[in-house]
Amino acid sequence: MRRMKFPKRYVIVLLLFISTCVCYIERVGFSIAYTVAADAAGVNQSTKGLILSTFYYGYAVSQVPGGWVSQWIGGRRVLLLSFILWSLICASVPLDPNRVEILVLARLLVGVAQGFIFPSIHNVLGQWVPPHERSRSVSLTTSGMYLGAAAGMLILPSLVKFRGSQSIFLAEAALGAMWSLLWFKYASDPPHLDHLKATAPSFGESLLPITKFKEIKGGLQKVKVENGRSSVLAVKIPWKRIVLSLPVWAIVVNNFTFHYALYVLMNWLPTYFEQGLQLSLQDMGSSKMFPYLNMFIFSNIGGVVADYLITRRILSVTRTRKLLNTIGFVVSALALMALPMFRTSNGAVFCSSVCLGFLALGRAGFAVNHLDVAPKYAGIVMGVSNTAGTLAGIVGVGLTGRILEAAKTAHMDLSSPESWKPVFYIPGYLCLFSSFIFLVFSTGERIFD
């Protein structure tokens, strides 16, 4: 009996899914471990905001360089080096809330290392994944973030309770090392035929007769075909067109808002549960993981629905992206504004689950759009876009700390919903604004060849 050959691109996508899962276990893990250690040491909210947001400074700096380096030497190599670097840092840094300088430096370096990851992932996906699989491949890959966050919220509080905060750093370093070994063993650059399929036009586009692309040393080179002969030309990245493109800016704005809401909830939900609702994370059981588990589910639903609508030609690529992005962001906005009204654990978990779930659904709109408009430069466009998303982490996480500290200065109790309304209303309004921008300016057509 002949065995069915398993496509190599499925292995690549699965490993990329695991990579985002591990990365977000690290991010949630630090938030949980540091919150417990900082509260025990009496660290104020502003200092907590500074430490929690430091990661994003390093993350912002390395996004565009990450896209450029991935384009130059290949995302496969960059991913491996990034994982090795941040894993070594986690294994060697002590978690002491009183040693602020060491924690700031460590989080900055981890941010720099992880900033190369998502541009590299999009570079790899742009080389391996054909147009009819883009939505579900990107959705599955990025849904690892949410499964990782869910697993972190479920398991890591107990690990802190029984083994101490430092144990989280060691566990994260071990996970990073194991993934690095898997990637080194099983990942490769795509064969020429698979690469041509991945960079083929989307539905409704016409083929360019004289231009092909091939993979050389992990990067791309353009091959001009004339009279049966080919000559190799260097790929020139259209930086000016990328920066001035309104569809790219639509992606950038929505990436900023998505990550503003995500990072605020990821970094401050533990504090909201502990101080806003007077609940212990250890006593909440599995319910605290539901918001992130919901993101995992809705992210993959969005990818499958998008590919179904596009491949069955029910909607164009442009209308599909706009539809899912609008639904995701508008529902999330409503859930964010309702969140401080819920004063029970079940209500808060339900509301945050709806918010994060529909945000993840919206990724089938803006997040996949990198590969629609610029499949050959997906790593570059992702680097530009994710820089904005990272700035959202710096602004949102730090601003939230200042808002809560100002509430305490004004003698407002953090258990009062009034103290938390600005925290959740700001990303709610941003979601409404961003959905409008994407609805007006985005496109599903290729604009960079």
Q: Residue 201 pLDDT > 70, yes or no?
A: no
* CB of 263 closer than 8 Å to CB of 393: yes
pLDDT of residue 282: 61
**pLDDT bracket for residue 343 (50, 70, 90):** confident
Predicted pLDDT at 217: 40
pLDDT tens digits, one per residue of 242-275: 889 999 999 999 999 999 999 888 778 878 887 8
Residue 336 has pLDDT above 50, yes or no: yes
Asked whether residue 307 carries a pLDDT value surpassing 70, the answer given is: yes
* pLDDT higher than threshold 90 for residue 96: no
For 366-409, what is each residue's pLDDT tens digit?
988 988 898 888 778 888 888 898 888 788 888 888 888 888 77
Mean pLDDT, range 211-233, rounded to an integer: 41
At a CB cut-off of 8 Å and minimum separation 6, what does 121 contact?
Answer: 16, 19, 20, 75, 79, 141, 382
- Would you kindly state where each structural domain of the chain is located, as residue ranges? 8-191+238-441, 192-233
Q: With 50 as the cut, is the pLDDT of residue 321 above it?
A: yes
pLDDT above 50: residue 120: yes
Q: What is the mean pLDDT of the chain?
A: 82
Helices (H), ranges, 93-133: 100-115, 117-128
CA distance 89 to 288: 28
Question: What's the rounded mean pLDDT across residues 61-87?
Answer: 89
Q: Mark residue 239 as left, alpha or beta (left: phi above 0; alpha: psi -120 to 50; beta: remaining).
A: alpha
Kindly state the tokens that stand for 88.
């070594």
What is the reported pLDDT for 281?
63
Note whether 370 and 382 are within 8 A (CB): yes
Give the residue-averaged pLDDT of 346-366: 92
Residue 397, C-beta contacts closer than 8 angstroms, at least 6 positions apart: 49, 52, 53, 56, 263, 264, 267, 268
Q: What is the pLDDT of residue 439?
A: 96
Residues whose CB falls within 8 Å of the CB of residue 181, separated by 6 or more in sequence, listed in order: none
Give the confidence band of 176 by pLDDT, cuts at 50, 70, 90.
Answer: very high
Which two three-digit tokens encode residue 139? Answer: 């959705």
pLDDT computed for residue 428 by the predictor: 95
Banded pLDDT at 70 (limits 50, 70, 90): confident
Assess whether pLDDT exceeds 70 at residue 203: no
CA 345/CA 426 separation, integer angstroms: 22
- 3-class secondary structure, 365: coil
pTM as predicted = 0.73
| The predicted structure's pLDDT at residue 198 | 52
DSSP label at residue 250 = H
- Least confident span in 204-218, 232-246, 320-334: 204-218
Task: Report how far residue 414's alpha carbon sits from residue 276's, in angstroms, rounded to the nearest whole number.
Answer: 5
pLDDT of residue 296: 87
Q: What is the pLDDT of residue 216?
A: 38
If we measure between CA atoms, which residue out of 258, 268, 257, 281 comes closest to residue 49?
A: 268
Neighbour-count burial of 236, counting CB atoms closer than 10 A to its CB (0-12 exposed, 13-18 middle, 19+ buried): exposed
Which pLDDT band, with edges at 50, 70 and 90, does 192 fall under?
low
Q: Domain spanning 8-191+238-441 has what CATH number?
A: 1.20.1250.20
* 8 Å CB contact between 431 and 330: yes
Residue 215: the pLDDT is 39
CA–centroid distance for 96 within its chain: 28
Rounded CA separation 153/207 (Å): 47
d(CA 304, CA 285): 31
What string of DSSP letters covers 309-338?
A: HHHTTSS-HHHHHHHHHHHHHHHHHHHHHH
Q: Report whether 150 contacts 298 (CB < 8 A).
A: no
Give yes or no for residue 206 having a pLDDT over 50: no
Q: Which residue has better confidence, 134 or 389?
A: 389
H or E, element range at 389: helix 378-409
- The mean-pLDDT minimum among 123-137, 149-163, 212-226, 305-319 falls in 212-226
Dist. CA 318–CA 324, nearest whole Å: 10
What percent of the chain lies above the pLDDT cut of 90? 34
Q: Is the pLDDT of residue 295 over 60?
A: yes
Half-sphere exposure at residue 55, Cβ-oriented, CA atoms within 13 angstroms: 25
DSSP 229: E
Maximal CA-CA distance, the chain: 79
Q: What is the pLDDT of residue 174?
A: 94
For residue range 11-66, list pLDDT tens digits in order: 999 999 999 999 989 988 888 888 888 888 888 877 877 888 788 888 888 888 88
Specify burial of residue 210 (Cβ count, 10 A radius: 0-12, 13-18, 19+).
Answer: exposed
pLDDT at 234: 47
pLDDT band with cut points at 50, 70 and 90 for residue 214? very low
